[in-house]
Chains A and B, each alone.
Chain A
Amino acid sequence: MNRSLIALLFAFFAFLIRAQAGDPLPVHTHSIVIDPIVTSDSVSCMIPFTRAGNLILIQAKADTMQGFFVLDTGTPNLVLNITYFRNYPASNPTESGGITGSVPAAAQTKVDSLVLGPVRYYHMDADLINLGHIENKKGIKIFGLLGMKLFEHFEMIIDYDRSVIYLHLINKKEAPTYKSAQLNDTLAYSIIPIEISEDKIVAHGLLKGRKLKFIIDSGAETNVLDSRLPNKVFESVVITKRVQLTGSGSAKVEALYGDLKDIQIGGQNISTLPVLITNLQSMCDSYNDCIDGMLGFDFLSLHKIGFNFVNHKMYVWK
C-alpha cells in the first residue's frame, strides 16, 4: 500500500469519526488531519494563556463544558475534574505500573470532543480525578488537565513573557525537518535531546559529571529533587527551609527546600535552581527505573522554551 493511499484512508477514517461525533465539518478548506483523532483548522496557532499561581491555564472545551484546563506535561492523559464530569460513564479503574503498587486507580471515561483553539480531538480517553484541592488553593474553577499525549504530534513553544503558546501540528511529510520560523536564528537557543518515556518528557542534566534524569513538568510549580540521590549530589545543594506538607491522607510529611548549584542543562549552566527535596520512590516505573527529579515552572520560566515532540527535541532560548 503506498503512502498516499494510507493518508487517504486516514482522512476518510477521520471524516467518519467526525460525522459520528455530530460536529459540523470545518468550513476551513485547509483542515489538517494527522491522526484519526486529532485535526486542526490551521497548521500553526497561537493560544493565549493566563496563570493561577504558576500553573498555565488554557481555555478549552470538553464536549459542552468550557473553561480553564491546566497544561500539565507531567501527566500522560487528558484528565477531567470529576466534580464537573460526574455523570460521565466511567469504566472500572485499572491498576497499572509503579513498583510501590500504589498507583491510584483513576476511573476512565471518554469525551466526544475536546477543542483547544483551532485544534480538535475526537473520542478522547480521559481520566476522572478529583482536582478539588488545586481549585481550593487557586480559587479558580479547573475543569481538567491537558496531558502529554495531546501534544505528541506537535511542536510547542511556551512564551511566558507574552503569555502565549505556539502550537504547530507536524504532519508526516514535514516531520523529519520541521521547525518553527522562531527557530531560524540558531544562535539564539540551544537544543537538548529529550525522550518521551511512559508519555512523560525526560531530559538530562549534568551535575559535577553526573547525569541526572528529570521529567519536564509544567504542572509542577517548583522543581523537585529526589532525596535518595548520592551524597555527592547534595554537596551541591544548600538547604534553605524545612516544610511540612500533607502527604498521604492528612498526615504531615517533612520535605526540604534547597538551592541546587551549578547544574548544566543542554549546555547552559544554571547557577542556582530552587528545588523541593523529597523521596521520589513512588515515581519509579514498573521496571524500577527512577527519575532523579522534576523540572517545573522555576525551570520552564527561566527562558522561552520549546518542544518538538515528534523529533524529541527541547529548545531553550538563551
Chain B
Amino acid sequence: MRDGRHRKMGWVGVGLLVSLFLLASPARVFSQGRNVRTYTIKNGRMYIALSRHIDKAQLDSFIVQYDLSDLDLPRALYSRSPKSFKPLNKMGWRMDIDNNQMVVISKAMIGLGNMNDPAKRMTLTEDHPNSDDLFPSENDNLLFGFNRFVGKFPFAVTDSFVTFYVKGHTRAREVLLAGSFTNWQNQAVRMTSTDSGWIYVIKLHPGKYWYKFIIDGNWTIDRENNLSEDDGRGNTNSVYFKTNAVFTLQGFVSARDAFLAGSFNDWNPGDLPMYRTFNGWQIHLYLAEGTHTYKFIVDGKWVEDPKDGDRLPDGHKGFNSVYRIGKPHLFVLNGYNQAKSVVLAGSFNQWKPYELFMHKTAAGWELPYTIGPGNYEYKFLVDGKWIPDPANPLFVEKKEANTRNSFLIIAPNHTFRLQGFEHAERVYLAGDFNNWTPGALHMKRVGDDWVFNIHLSVGKHLYKFIVDGKWIKDPDDPLWEGNEFGTDNSVIWIEHN
C-alpha cells in the first residue's frame, strides 16, 4: 500500500486523492494504482481494496489467495448496480469507497468466542490446515503402502515375523525399539546386539506401522529408511509397511525401468518403481482388502499385466488388470429384465459409471465384487438412470445433491444396543458414520433390546439413537460430550487392533 505508487500517478491522481480525502477519509490510506488489490487491517477492521481496472484473472487469483470465494467480489467490482453490494452488506461488510477507480470494503474484526476457555482456545488456535496427525488410524482409508529403504530391501521377513534392524551403534549400552505396535515408549522392546548392529524380531499383521529407535535414551528415526512422516518441525517417525501383495511382470528384461500404477495410488505413473529380477520385474506392496485395478508402465508405456486374465474396462476403450484381496460380496438387483445394461458404482470404485457391468440372471442382475471392511455408499445405473438398491433399506441422505445412496456395511465390528425402551415402536441409529441421517439405520428388536451392527473405523465416533422420532444419547454409555446444538452426543472410541 505504501509502495510509492502514489508518485507515479501524476497530478490527476493527486487531484483525485485530494477529492477522495474530502469525501471519504478511509481513501487516504488506500493507494489508487490501476492494479491495486490489497487485504489489510486498520483500526480493528479488515479492509479489502480493489482497483476497478484489475482484470478477471487478477481478481480470481486474489480470491484464491485469500480464500474469498463466498464474498462474490466479481459482482461487487464489475456490476455498477446498487444492489450488487447487498449480499456483502448482509455479511457485515461496509462499503467505504465506491468510485470509478476502486472499491474498498471493510468489516469489523470480532472475537472468536471466549479464549479463556482452554478447549475453545486450543480449537481456535489449531494449525490450519491440519498438520499430519501422529496417531493415524491404520485401517482408515489406507489403500496401499510401499517401503522405501536406503538399501534395496527392507527388513527381513519370515512369514509374519519382521526383523527390525538398526545398523552400527555397537558401543551403545541399550537400544530400544518403540512404535505404534509397542504403544510407543510404554512397551518399548529391548533390541539384541549383533556384530553389525541391533535386531528385534516381532510378529506383525499386514499394514502400516510407525517406529523409532531409542539409542541410549536418544530417540532417532531409522536412518536406513527413507520413509518417514512428520509435520516438518522435527517430530518425525519412520514408517514401515508389512506387505501382503506381490506384483510380478515377466519379461521386458532389456527395459530401462518399470513402474506399477493403479487405483490404489491414483494412477500416479512414477510413484512405485519395480526392481529387476532375473527374468523380469517385481514390487511388494501393502494393499488394503478390496478390489484394485492396475497397469505397468514399462519405459513410459502403459501395459496390462500379460499373465492376469482378471480385468475391467478402463474407460478409454482398454482394460485394467485387477488384484483382489478378501471375500467377494454379491450385489443383486432383481427385475429390470428389459434393461440393456446395469452398472454398479459406489464409493468403493470412485463412482465410475463404466467399470462394473452386472451380469444378467434369470431373476435380474448380479455381480460379485470384493470390498474390504467398512461402510460404503452405492447405486445402480440402469440404462443411464441412477437408482438406489430397492432391496436395501439402509441409505444415506445426500442433502447437497437431494438424493439418497444405498448404504452397505461390510464386516461389522461393533454392535450398538439400546436397552430400556421395550415399548418404543421404531428406533434408529445415527452418527458421524452415516452423515447423521435420521430414519436410515433401523435398529432391530432383539428381546427387549434394540440392536444394530455396523463397521466403525479406528478412532472416535459420535452417535445418538432416535426413539419414536426423539433424539436421545445412549443411556448406557458413560461417555458423551456437548455439541453445537446444545444437546449431547454419545462418544465411542474404537481402539487399534
Residues of A within 8 A of B (CB): 46, 48, 50-55, 59, 70, 72, 74-75, 79, 82-84, 86-87, 97-98, 100, 102-104, 106, 129-141, 145, 147, 160-164, 217, 219-222, 224, 227-228, 231, 234-235, 237, 239-250, 253-257, 276-283, 294, 296-297, 301
A140 near B135 (CB under 8 angstroms)? yes
Contact indicator A282/B114 (Cβ below 8 Å): yes
Determine how close the nearest CB of chain A comes to the CB of B216; give it in whole angstroms. 12
Q: Pick out which of these stretches binds chain A: B228-236, B327-335, B358-366, B437-445.
A: B228-236
List CB contacts (< 8 Å) of B228-248 with chain A.
231, 233-235
Q: Does B46 contact A (CB under 8 A)?
A: yes
Indicate if B184 sits at the interface (CB-CB under 8 A).
yes
13 new A-B contacts at CB < 8 Å, known A51-B235, A97-B116, A255-B112 = A50-B134, A53-B126, A129-B118, A130-B119, A130-B481, A134-B122, A234-B40, A239-B46, A242-B67, A248-B114, A256-B46, A256-B109, A297-B127
Are A83 and B186 touching (Cβ within 8 A)? no
Cβ distance B413 to chain A, nearest Cβ, rounded Å: 17
With a cutoff of 8 Å between Cβ atoms, the chain B residues found around residue A106 in the complex are 117
* Contact partner, B460, options A50, A102, A135, Cβ 8 Å: A135
Residues from 422 to 467 in B contacting A, C-beta threshold 8 Å: 459-460, 462
Report whether B185 and A294 are in contact in the complex, using a CB–CB cutoff of 8 Å.
Answer: no
* Cβ-defined contact, A245 with B40, below 8 A: no
Partner of A54, one of B107, B110, B131: B131
Q: B482, A132: Cβ atoms under 8 Å?
A: yes
Contact B484 A83 (CB under 8 A): no
Number of A-B contacts (CB under 8 A): 208
Q: Sample 12 A-B pairs with CB under 8 A, ordered by A number.
A: A53-B126, A53-B134, A83-B480, A97-B116, A106-B117, A129-B117, A129-B118, A217-B125, A219-B118, A234-B42, A255-B124, A277-B109
The interface residues of chain B lying within 8 Å CB-to-CB of A140 are 133, 135
| Structural contact, A137 and B125, CB atoms closer than 8 A | no
B10 in the interface, Cβ–Cβ < 8 Å?
A: no
A284 → chain B closest CB, angstroms? 10
Q: Is the CB of A138 within 8 A of B135?
A: yes
Q: Are A139 and B112 in touch, CB under 8 angstroms?
A: no
A113 to B42 Cα, complex, angstroms: 50
Closest to B124 in A: A245
Are B184 and A72 in touch, CB under 8 angstroms? no
Q: Nearest CB to that of B41 among chain A residues?
A: A234
Bound: A160/B218 CA distance, A: 12
Interface presence of B65 (CB below 8 A):
yes
Given contact pairs A161-B234, A228-B44, A243 touches B67 in the complex (Cβ within 8 A): yes
Tell me the B residues contacting A by CB distance below 8 Å: 2, 39-44, 46, 65-68, 70, 107, 109-128, 130-131, 133-137, 184-186, 217-219, 231, 233-235, 459-460, 462, 478-482, 484-485, 491, 493
Known: A79-B118, A130-B119, A137-B123. A86 touches B478 (CB 8 A): yes
For the complex of A and B, the 6 pairs showing the least CB-CB separation, nearest first, are A132-B481, A220-B125, A250-B484, A227-B109, A279-B111, A248-B113
Closest to A133 in B: B123
Give the CA-CA distance A227 to B39 in the complex, in Å. 14
Q: Is the CB of A141 within 8 A of B493?
A: yes
- CB neighbours of A164 from chain B (8 A): 219
Contact A247 B113, beta carbon cutoff 8 Å: yes
B110 contacts A253, CB within 8 Å? yes
Please determine whether A282 and B119 come into contact, CB atoms closer than 8 angstroms: no
Query: Is B115's CB under 8 angstroms from A280's CB?
Result: yes
A103 & B114 in contact (Cβ 8 Å cutoff): yes
Query: Which of the residues A219, A227, A244 comes within 8 Å of B121, measured between beta carbons?
Result: A219
Which residues of chain A have C-beta atoms less than 8 A from B137's C-beta? 139
Q: How far is the CA of A46 from the CA of B113 in the complex (A)?
A: 37
Instruction: Note all chain B residues with C-beta closer than 8 A to A244.
Output: 70
Q: Is the CB of B235 within 8 A of A279?
A: no
For residue B44, which residues in chain A have a CB less than 8 angstroms away from its CB?
227-228, 279
CB B72 to nearest CB in A, in angstroms, measures 14
Of A131, A162, A257, A278, the contact of B119 (CB 8 Å cutoff):
A131
| Residue ID in chain B nearest A66 by CB atoms | B186
Set of chain B residues within 8 Å of A237, measured between Cβ atoms: 41
| Given known A242-B67, A243-B67, contact A282–B118 (CB-CB < 8 A) | no
CB distance from A290 to the nearest CB of B (A): 11
Contact B114–A104 (Cβ < 8 Å): yes
Residues in A with CB closer than 8 Å to B235 are: 50-51, 160, 163
Q: Which residues of B contact A296 (CB under 8 A)?
A: 125
Using Cβ atoms and an 8 Å threshold, which residues of chain B touch A162? 218-219
Q: Is the CB of A220 within 8 A of B185?
A: no
Partner of A282, one of B116, B135, B136: B116
Query: Which single member of B118, B125, B479 contacts A83 (CB below 8 Å)?
Result: B479
Least Cβ–Cβ distance between A303 and chain B, in angstroms: 11
CA–CA, A162 to B491, complex, Å? 34
Query: How far is A237 from B484 in the complex, measured between Cα atoms in Å?
Result: 33
Q: Judging by beta carbons under 8 Å apart, are B118 and A75 in contact? A: yes
Q: A residues within 8 A CB of B70?
A: 244
Please determine whether B219 and A280 come into contact, CB atoms closer than 8 angstroms. no
Residues of A within 8 A of B130 (CB): 53, 137
Residues of chain B with a CB closer than 8 A to A59's CB = 185-186
- Bound state CA distance, A40 and B280, in angstroms? 63
CB < 8 Å: which of B114, B120, B462, B480 contacts A100?
B114
Q: Which residues of B contact A277 (CB under 8 A)?
A: 41, 109
Answer whether A282 and B111 are a contact pair too, CB < 8 Å, given A97-B116, A242-B67: yes
- Contact: B233 with A301, CB < 8 Å? yes
